Chain A
Amino acid sequence: MESLKTYFSGQRGVYHGIAIAVVVAVFALPFITIDAYTIQLATQALIYVLLALGLNVVVGYAGLLDLGYVAFYAVGAYTSGILTTRLGWPMWATIPAVVAACVLAGVVIGGPTLRLRSDYLAIVTLGFGEIIRVTAQNLSITGGPSGIFGIPTWSFGSWSFNDGLTVGGLFFNGKILLYYFVAIVVMVLGLIGIPRLANGRLGRAWRAVRDDEDAAEAMGVNTYTTKITAYIIGAVWAGLAGQLNASLITTISPTSFQFLQSALVLMAVVIGGMGSVPGVVLGALFITLAPELLRDVWENRSLMFGILLLAVMLFRPKGLWPATSILPWSRDKHRAKVDTKPAQARAEEV
């Protein structure tokens, strides 16, 4: 018992404790309410968590400013939408196609631009986001401005989520099953997978490139391939989030993939804390839930976001839950990084 107490007072333990609490809460939600709107909103919020965690790889770990991230979300949504509605593929069978399409898009966009210094990437990705949207608007296979309707839910053989499932006398309807499915995907890919990547050899290379590209090269890290790997992994994560979202809302159209969406996801990462998984989760929950919860209070949500973003940047420039933070009640508190001097205060000289 004592060792358990010591464990949960350390930084790792604190994180694990919070993670357990979150998992329990996510699992318990349908037992508290099965209100369709709430479940839908919760599913959407989880998809945004996945999206933001994917962008966190690009922006937070590798330090690449991507202003058109939602383009990959669109690629994933459209790829699965087209293949299921036009060709009648089951949703799961489109996963390889979604991954392949996102890898291809990532290579096409990232390949040439990541050779340049990072500022160019922001401009190119901004353009790419618009190109994807305008293309979707003008092609007939993507349904033009009205988009794609009637995207089916996940089906496996003759059984689909919409048939529901009875476990131990409890009936789970299609929406709840999709919610659980999304929750599992988000936890496995986002909350377990990404931190694992970030802690291994590749993740160290990402963070090294972010902190100092030249020093990373001097350590034998090929900064180009490292950046492109981050970019592609971010693209695939967004594509999968797009696919989940398509199966949730069943209708996709170019208006769902505007620049504002990219900006919102980026905002989730920045206000949460770049490179910080709990921070980014908080940020993603905030951008999805706050407008709904405050719908009646604030008419103008763009203004509200603007003000909040400014406030966070002014008072917590490293985000609500910075990656370098150590919780004050943890016994590892001496490891908290106090200095907040701009990281780029180094000389120009190599």
Chain B
Amino acid sequence: MSLPMIDPSALLTTHPEAVPRPETLLEVKNLRLAFGGVVAVDGLNMNVHRGEIVSVIGPNGAGKTSAFNCITGFYRPDSGEIAFMGKSIIRTRPSKITRMGMARTFQNLRLFSDMSILDNVRTGAHAHLRQHWFDAFLHTPAYRKTERACEEDARYWLDFVGFTGDTLLYVTQLPYGEQRRVEIARALATNPKLLLLDEPAAGLNHTEKRGLVDLIRRVRDLDIAVVLIEHDMGLVMDISERIIVLNYGKEIADGAPDDIRANPLVIEAYLGAGDDEEPADGADQASADPGQPLPPAPPSLPEASATADRSDGGEARR
């Protein structure tokens, strides 16, 4: 897979390789966010390293989306530290964070409904497209050049995510799975170093899920780290190099898929600790797709510890 055939000087304010990438992209420390009495995120710590695929799992209402919203600047956390590429991004506008190289998708698709597919993806290039409105007004050569580069870029990403249809259709004319793809293409068009996907497999059929797994791997191969929230355990276990498990806003485990599978705390969280909740339903009430809500039964490895893996689970792989 080659990089887009575009003239980077026309399109980028900073060439992606001009800024050396630190090994740790994202560092979240002691993040806390409460909505009135509900503590959605309660002292979350997590790191994301360059080029890894991390999954964030947890029962419904565990605070996964809230944590994403804090990290991407949509919610202002009550306390805690978030650093992206070594810089604090607390109180930074979401658009600024995107420009720094963090892109996201939304749990319930949020494409621009009155714009064409191509325009949706072209909007992703907004941040690094150097085009003055006066050039657009006068249709100067600079405008034509930047617009052509932007369109090629958008087509490249649509191609990359495997979209083959008519790019001038409105997004609402597409089936759901295709819309999901376009949303990922749009996020990729922002030229991210870190991509956050909120339940990208929700509502996808089996074939589409396999395509998604392949897509996420190809994204990682472009040296873009991927963090995904997902309820489909099969997919999570298949793709993740590391899994972070949240419950009631706290992370209860952080480690390799096999360790997570065997972790008693995780199993307990998913089984609802035998309370009045129906055990098997914990993970998929709001998810459009049931997937495999439960991790397979633990292969009885009781020594797997939740906290031992956490602090240096990431460093260990390097």
Contacts from A to B (Cβ < 8 Å): 193, 196-197, 199-205, 207-208, 210-212, 214-223, 229, 275, 323-324, 332, 334-335, 337-339, 341, 343, 346-347, 349-350
Contact = CB atoms under 8 A, between A and B. Distances in A.
A193 B129 contact: no
Interface string B52-66: 000000000000010
Nearest to B72: A218
B247 interface: no
B186 A219 contact: yes
Given A205-B126, A219-B186, A343 B168 contact: no
B109 to A, nearest CB: 8
B103 interface: yes
In this complex, the member of A208, A211, A349, A350 whose beta carbon has the largest number of chain B beta carbons within 10 angstroms is: A350
Contacts of B139: 196
B137 A337 contact: no
Contact of A221 (B119, B126, B136): B126
B133 A220 contact: no
A129 B137 CA distance: 29
B166 A208 contact: no
B178 interface: no
B133 A217 contact: no
A217 B114 contact: no
Contacts of B110: 212, 214-215, 218, 346
Contacts of A215: 106, 110-112
B173 interface: yes
B115 A207 contact: yes
B250 interface: no
B202 to A, nearest CB: 13
A337 B116 CA distance: 10
Contact of B133 (A200, A221, A323): A200
B115 A211 contact: yes
Q: Which of A223, A323, A349: most chain B CB closer than 10 A?
A: A349
Interface stretch (B20-28, B92-100, B271-279, B308-316): B92-100
Interface in B124-146: 124, 126-129, 131, 133, 135-137, 139, 143, 146
Interface of B: 65, 69, 72-75, 93-96, 98-99, 103-104, 106-108, 110-115, 119, 122-124, 126-129, 131, 133, 135-137, 139, 143, 146-147, 150, 166, 168-170, 172-173, 186-187, 190
Contact of A204 (B69, B73, B126, B135): B126
A332 to B, nearest CB: 7
Nearest to B166: A335
Nearest to B96: A222
A63 to B, nearest CB: 10
Contact of A207 (B75, B114, B147, B173): B114
Contacts of A347: 108
B93 A217 contact: yes
Contacts of A217: 73-74, 93-95, 98
A201 B112 contact: no
Given A211-B114, A220-B127, A324 B108 contact: no
Contacts of B129: 201
A313 B120 CA distance: 28
B126 A220 contact: yes
B113 A343 contact: yes
A334 B122 CA distance: 22
Contact of B166 (A196, A334, A346): A334
A323 B126 contact: no
B126 A218 contact: no
Contact of B170 (A222, A335, A350): A335
Closest 9 CB pairs of A and B: A200-B136, A220-B127, A211-B112, A220-B98, A217-B94, A215-B110, A202-B133, A337-B170, A201-B131
B136 A223 contact: no
A210 to B, nearest CB: 7
Given A219-B186, A219-B190, A208 B115 contact: yes
A170 B94 CA distance: 61
Contact of B123 (A208, A222, A334, A349): A208
B99 A220 contact: yes
Contacts of A222: 93, 95-96
B74 A214 contact: yes
Nearest to B100: A220
B85 to A, nearest CB: 15
Given A207-B112, A337-B173, A219 B137 contact: no
Contacts of A323: 114
B170 A203 contact: no
Contact of B74 (A202, A204, A350): A350
Nearest to A275: B114
Contacts of B115: 204, 207-208, 211
A219 B154 CA distance: 13
A197 to B, nearest CB: 6
Nearest to B133: A202
B127 A200 contact: no
A218, A275, A337, A349 pick with most chain B CB within 10 angstroms: A218
A337 B75 CA distance: 34
20 contacts: A200-B135, A200-B143, A201-B136, A204-B126, A207-B112, A207-B119, A212-B111, A212-B112, A215-B112, A216-B112, A217-B74, A219-B186, A220-B128, A334-B166, A335-B168, A337-B172, A337-B173, A339-B172, A346-B110, A347-B108
